[in-house]
Amino acid sequence: VCVKSVPDTETKIKIGADNRHIDLADVRFITSPYDEFAIEEALSLKEKHGGETVAFSMGGNEVTDVLRDTLARGVDNAVHLNDPDFQDLDPLSTAKVLAAAIAGGGFDVIFCGQQGVGGDHSQVPAMLAELLDLPQVTMVVKLEIEGEKFKAEREIEGAHEIVEGTLPVVLSAQKGLNEPRYPSIKGVMAARRKEIAVKNAEALGSSGKVGQQFCKVKLTELTLPPPRPQGKMIEGDAETQAKTLVHLLRTEAKVI
């Protein structure tokens, strides 16, 4: 399972001094919400079929709590991918780091979330599948695994697609896949005693290949959305309001 540590979705966004990051003062980090579906699905597969679950997360110190939380939910082992070279990476470079850590691990299923909130890219899972040379299904809302075969349902515009194939596979979890469990007290206690493995660029063999200078997509500026112009309140009884609105939509906003 690939888990990303992201700013709490309730965070009020302020732009940082460099105009390229958000102001991290007072920001609490959480597991990216879609990764919670990924973790849950991995745990329920393990309950059904046995095996081992491992969480991978790339990032700085903000990752530790998220990995502890993942262990507390019942994931067996956690690997923290941490190196100065891993800061501010674009999705392709992120996928390269994850692929280096995951390749050769003998995993049957590699779960991701369908989107890492914050960056909002929805890119890493498909890139990871390509780099690992595995099939993929993104935005999965239902999953069945039998022997070497999987059957996954994904949400598309106005329909659901059923995708079939053989393991191993990379899957990205969409809301609706399951109801994530909360960590139990026992889980939290056990997670505290567990060791989180740390791997750097050298250990992954990615030195001189991954780093900001190699990124192909660069954020140059982060801005707040332009404020919406002051709206108009429409007064009167329901009929007058309806008439006025239709009139304004046609003559002023010109959208009808």
Ligand X SMILES: Nc1ncnc2c1ncn2[C@@H]1O[C@H](COP(=O)(O)O)[C@@H](O)[C@H]1O
Report the interface residues with ligand FAD, using CB under 6 A.
Answer: 9, 33
Q: Which two tokens stand for residue 150?
A: 């999987």
Q: Which residues pair with 141 in a beta bridge?
A: none
Q: Radius of gyration of the chain from Cα atoms? A: 22
In 3D, which of 117, 121, 119, 154 has the Cα closest to residue 135? 154
Least distance (Å) from ligand FAD to the CB of residue 231? 16
Least distance (Å) from ligand FAD to the CB of residue 210? 31
Least distance (Å) from other proteins to the CB of residue 147? 15
Tell me if 115 contacts ligand X by CB under 6 A. yes
CB atoms within 10 A of CB 3: 28
Is 55 in contact with 46 (CB distance < 8 Å)? no
Tell me if 64 contacts ligand X by CB under 6 A. no
Per-residue contact flags (x/-) with ligand X for residues 122 to 161, judged by CB under 6 A? xxxx------------------------------------
Is 148 in contact with 167 (CB distance < 8 Å)? yes
Tell me if 178 contacts ligand X by CB under 6 A. no
* 192/199 Cα distance (integer angstroms): 19
Contact partner at residue 36 from other proteins, ligand FAD, ligand X, none, CB < 5 to 8 Å by partner kind: none
CB atoms within 10 A of CB 10: 7
Least distance (Å) from ligand FAD to the CB of residue 6? 11
Contact partner at residue 45 from other proteins, ligand FAD, ligand X, none, CB < 5 to 8 Å by partner kind: none
Q: Which residues pair with 196 in a beta bridge?
A: 78
Residues 14 to 43 in contact with ligand X, rule: CB under 6 A: 32, 34-35, 38
* CB of 59 or CB of 211, closer to ligand X: 59
Tell me if 2 contacts ligand X by CB under 6 A. yes
Contacting ligand X (CB under 6 A), which of 30, 42, 43, 58?
Answer: 58
* 42/74 Cα distance (integer angstroms): 10
* CB of 71 or CB of 129, closer to other proteins: 129
Q: Which two tokens stand for residue 236?
A: 């009167």
Contacts of 96 (CB under 8 A, 6+ apart): 131, 206, 209, 210
* CB of 9 or CB of 184, closer to ligand X: 9
Least distance (Å) from ligand X to the CB of residue 5? 7
* CB of 3 or CB of 196, closer to other proteins: 3
CA dihedral 87, 90, 96, 99 (to 10 degrees): 90
Residues making contact with ligand X (CB under 6 A): 2-4, 32, 34-35, 38, 56-59, 91, 94, 98, 112-113, 115-116, 119, 121-125
